[in-house]
Amino acid sequence: MLYRTFVLCILVRNTWSSSWKSEVEEGSKVHFPPWFKFGSATASHQIEGAWNASGKTPHIWDVFAHTVPGAISDGSNGDVACDSYRLWREDVKMAADLGLDFYRFSISWPRILPSGFPNHINEEGVRYYRELMDGLLEVGIEPVVTIYHWELPQSLQDLGGWTNPLVVDWYADYARVLFTLYADRVKTWITLNEPMVFCEATYTLGSHAPGILSPGIGNFLCNRHALLAHAKAWRIYDQEFRHKYHGKLALTNNLLWFEPDEGHGDEVAELVRELGAGMYSHPIYSKEGGWPPVIEKIIAERSRRQGYPKSRLPPFTKEEIKFIRGTYDFYGFNYYTARLARWAKPGEVLGKWPHFGTDELNISLVVKPEWKKSPLDWFIIYPEGIRRQMKWLKRKYGNIEIFIMENGLANIDPRLDDTDRVDFYREHLRQVLLSIYEDGVNVTGYTAWSLMDNYEWIDGYHSKFGLYAVDFSDSERRRTPRASAFYYSSVVRTGSLVLPATYTSYTASSSKNALSYITIVINFMLALSLIK
């Protein structure tokens, strides 16, 4: 009860801040359209645990954490994580308590196909995801499924992983199995999560599993094969499943927003945008297809100067360009941070995230001093970047549907009074509203990362993104809602950035916002019920 009162006081205090009152005065600018969807997300390795149970075999992150000293900052692993393999009903309840329209989660490749191939389908794994999906559907929450969130079976990595061209067929076979098993339940699919990260952080920086440092070679092979794998899965669904299930598919890109540093023109920032967003978007979303021409030209010329007989960026054939182009139903977009771009100084070292191959362009990334900082050195807070990135996507690829699949704040403090995260969500959602009403961007959904604290890859349990705090010292992995869970639940339930307590009525123009004062009070109490 004390905690309920504490959270209420925090949020009421925020409600009456000047910035919140200015939003109230702007009326409809704080209301999302009635068709806009809200959700939250997790990934299998980050929450499930049961790493070697119920027929599952190791994937690259299991092996990486267990065998590479110092690979994970706190020396931890995902063996138990949030124990969601056992506690999935708790996850469903949290999603229901928040009032989510959808819950995005991923399927672990080796939990379904222990050998990596479809010669044997693990029925225990199949049952786990089926029960999770059915549990969500029973409470009116749509399951949004990521087919690949970095969990390549180690058996396939031993054969070359994403640098082996056969991975395109291996992945396509896996995707077909999932479509066959779950397409009747799943209407929104993510083929690949953040290929920029699983290619660049692995091969350009060597920091992610499987930790193979091969800048300028391995990352480009991975990039090429990931795009072909995505396209093949999309075409399998399109030809074999769409007519019956009418679902949507796309990959999801993690895009940093880039602006020019002081004294530099926009061309330097535009080059990095093409290296980051363009490399993983232009082949799919542009009218002409293929690599971004400016990047293809630069790397070909640089390869020749370095003595390579061919470009290190393998070109697509005409058939491959046609095969990849147009393989989307929306644009999946993850956004966290931003940087300024400038030409590198002589001898400047560009080998740390987020310098994902910017040495190819001789460009350095820096931070604007006035941008907000988080407790993590890489995580600079720039809410305007999410709007500007979506506007850039619209300019480059037309008014395609954009679905924000991840956005959230990391901190290292487990406290429940996470007003910094409340502010982060409010400020970014404000930019999303401006994208809709001012820029005419066709953005249809928003996903808060993440539903709960989890295993954050090389950060282990150090970084905390959760709407719900997880006590990793507790054998039952107790989940407790933070202040941000209260706030996000209010946004989801009312379709508004402002807490229900700030209104006595809403306009009846939107069915999602046509709430009487009594309904507001009821919603207020429902949100409080999150806090047990």
| Predicted confidence (pLDDT) at residue 195 exceeds the cutoff of 80 | yes
Q: Which two tokens stand for residue 429?
A: 């959602």
Give 17's contacts (C-beta < 8 A, 6+ positions apart): none
Collapsing DSSP to helix, strand or coil, 347 comes out as coil
Q: What's residue 197's pLDDT?
A: 96
Q: What pLDDT shows up at residue 90?
A: 98
341 token code pair: 């771009």
CATH of the domain at 333: 3.20.20.80
Closest alpha carbon to 281 in 198, 175, 194, 405: 194
pLDDT at 509: 32
Rounded CA-CA distance 428/361 in Å is 30
Helices (H), 379-509: 384-397, 419-437, 483-494
* Cβ 422 vs Cβ 483: under 8 Å: yes
The tokens describing 517, both together, are 């004062």
Q: What share of the chain is helix, strand, coil (3-state, %, to 5)?
A: 45, 15, 40
1 confidence band (pLDDT: 50, 70, 90): very low
Beta-ladder partners of 102: 39, 142
Q: Binning pLDDT at 50, 70 and 90, where does residue 363 land?
A: very high
To the query of whether residue 194 is one of the catalytic residues in this protein, the response is yes
Give mean pLDDT, residues 437-466.
97
Mean per-residue pLDDT, 470-484: 97
- Residue 210 near residue 60, CB atoms below 8 Å: yes
Q: What are the DSSP calls for 269-312, one per residue? A: HHHHHHHHTGGGTHHHHSSS-SS-HHHHHHHHHHHHHTT-SS-S
DSSP 405: E
Distance CA 92, CA 396 (A): 38
- Res 349: pLDDT: 78
402-407 and 331-334 strand pairing:
parallel
At 1 the three-state DSSP class reads coil
Which has more pLDDT, 1 or 418? 418
Q: Give the total number of structural domains in the chain.
A: 1
Please give the pLDDT value at position 15.
42
**φ and ψ of 172, to 5 deg:** -60, -40
pTM score, whole prediction: 0.91
Q: How far apart are CA 51 and CA 55, in angstroms?
A: 9
For residue 388, pLDDT beyond 50: yes
Which residue is catalytic, options 142, 259, 406, 456? 406
395 contact partners, CB below 8 Å, separation of at least 6 = none
Average pLDDT, the chain: 90
pLDDT at residue 357 is higher than 90: no
Q: What percent of the chain lies above the pLDDT cut of 70?
A: 88
Q: Which two tokens stand for residue 295?
A: 């990047």
Does pLDDT of 160 surpass 80? yes
User: Between 2 and 471, where is the model more confident?
Assistant: 471
> What is the pLDDT at residue 500?
61
Rounded-to-integer distance, Cα 164 and Cα 238, Å = 25
Q: Which of 26-35, 476-485, 504-513 has the highest mean pLDDT?
A: 476-485
Residue 126, φ and ψ in degrees, nearest 5: -55, -45
- β pairing state of 468-470 and 479-481: antiparallel
Phi and psi at residue 39, to the nearest 5°: -150, -175
Q: Flag whether pLDDT at 319 surpasses 60.
A: yes
Cα–Cα separations (whole angstroms), residue 297 to 23, 287, 383: 47, 19, 33
CB 279 within 8 A of CB 295: yes
The pLDDT value given to residue 377: 87
How many Å apart are CA 194 and CA 440, to the nearest integer? 26
Whether 301 is a known active-site residue: answer no
Q: What's the rounded Cα separation, in Å, for the pair 525 and 528?
A: 5
Q: 18-50: per-residue pLDDT in tens?
A: 344 444 334 457 899 999 999 999 999 999 999
Mean pLDDT throughout 113-141?
98
- pLDDT at site 28: 54
Identify the top-confidence range among 342-356, 405-419, 508-522.
405-419
Convert the pLDDT of each residue in 4-22 to its tens digit. 444 545 454 444 343 444 4
* Tens of pLDDT, residues 48-94: 999 999 999 999 999 999 999 999 999 999 999 999 999 999 999 99
What integer is the mean pLDDT of 231-252? 98
Nearest Cα to Cα of residue 511 among 494, 530, 486 = 494
| Residue located via tokens 């001789």 | 362
Considering the candidates 23, 194, 360, 456, report the single residue annotated as catalytic. Answer: 194
Contact in structure between 258 and 268 (CB atoms under 8 Å):
no
Parent domain of 320:
2-528
DSSP 208-271: STT----TTTHHHHHHHHHHHHHHHHHHHHHHHTHHHH--EEEEEEE--EEEEPTT--HHHHHH
Q: What pLDDT sits at residue 76?
A: 98
In this predicted structure, what is the pLDDT of residue 7? 52
pLDDT in tens, 269-310: 999 999 999 999 999 999 999 999 999 999 999 999 999 999
The burial of 398, by beta-carbon neighbours within 10 Å (0-12 exposed, 13-18 middle, 19 or more buried), is given as: exposed
CA nearest neighbour of 177 among 95, 134, 243, 237: 237
Whether residue 114 is preceded by a cis peptide bond, meaning omega within 30 degrees of 0, is no
SS3 468: strand
Residue 98 has a pLDDT of 98
pLDDT for res 116:
98
Kindly tell me if the per-residue pLDDT of 512 is higher than 80. no
Structure tokens at 502: 């700030």
Residue type, 357: G
- 64-78, 187-201, 343-357, 469-483: segment of lowest average pLDDT: 343-357
* 244: Cβ contacts below 8 Å, ≥ 6 apart: 183
